[in-house]
Chain A
């Protein structure tokens, strides 16, 4: 079974600063997908970013970027210029293709952006 570990239950960052959330995973697969989802107080699960394991280039989406280290099985999320609206729970997820698109989620990191 795949496991996803988020070792930081809670983090905080000053507004406009940069913060990095950690995620590691365990798999014997070579082809897979990794995701970060954001869950604000509204409880809606929102896709932040997606990374295909076969791509060496790190994915970016505006202020959000990842540091994907395949050999180390690490997939961290960097949020630049943090905004108050970034306050949320962040979940890392792993998906192995051809298995019905089943996700394996980490336990989440609660991020608070301080004004």
Chain B
């Protein structure tokens, strides 16, 4: 089992650019979560899906952020336009029976 796969692992971009983060959950898992981690705010839940349907997106900071899960094996988190305050580590996690398994994270730096 490859675990949760995230890409890219590192992303450096300039303010105003579009950023797309990708996640492949563990096969068979029916829940997927996107988190953001910063020193200031710690670990924040942005959005989560059950069976590909968004359940709670109240953690999405603003309209610049959007997430999709077109099928059970793929999800994206998009930031458009990006801002320096979006710099953080973004984690994707998936679960089936409660326990969440995290991907390695994407370290995003917006200049």
Contact = CB atoms under 8 A, between A and B. Distances in A.
Interface of A: 33, 35, 37, 42-47, 50, 91, 95, 97, 100-103, 105, 107-108
Interface residues of B, number: 22
A45 B91 contact: yes
B50 interface: yes
Interface stretch (B15-23, B40-48, B60-68, B70-78): B40-48
B102 A45 contact: yes
A99 B109 CA distance: 33
Contacts of A97: 98
Given A101-B31, A103-B45, 7 more contacts: A35-B99, A42-B104, A44-B104, A45-B93, A46-B102, A95-B98, A101-B95
Contact of A43 (B33, B42, B105): B105
A103 B100 contact: yes
Nearest to A107: B42
Given A100-B31, A101-B95, A44 B105 contact: yes
Interface of B: 31, 33, 37, 42-43, 45, 48, 50, 55-56, 89, 91, 93, 95, 98-102, 104-105, 107
A47 B99 contact: yes
B45 to A, nearest CB: 7
Specify which of B33, B99, B105, B107 lies most central, judged by the most chain A CB atoms within 10 Å of its CB: B99
Nearest to B50: A100
27 contacts: A33-B98, A33-B99, A35-B99, A37-B102, A42-B104, A43-B89, A44-B102, A45-B91, A45-B102, A45-B105, A46-B102, A47-B99, A47-B100, A50-B98, A50-B99, A91-B43, A97-B98, A100-B48, A100-B56, A101-B31, A102-B48, A102-B56, A103-B33, A103-B45, A103-B100, A105-B43, A108-B43
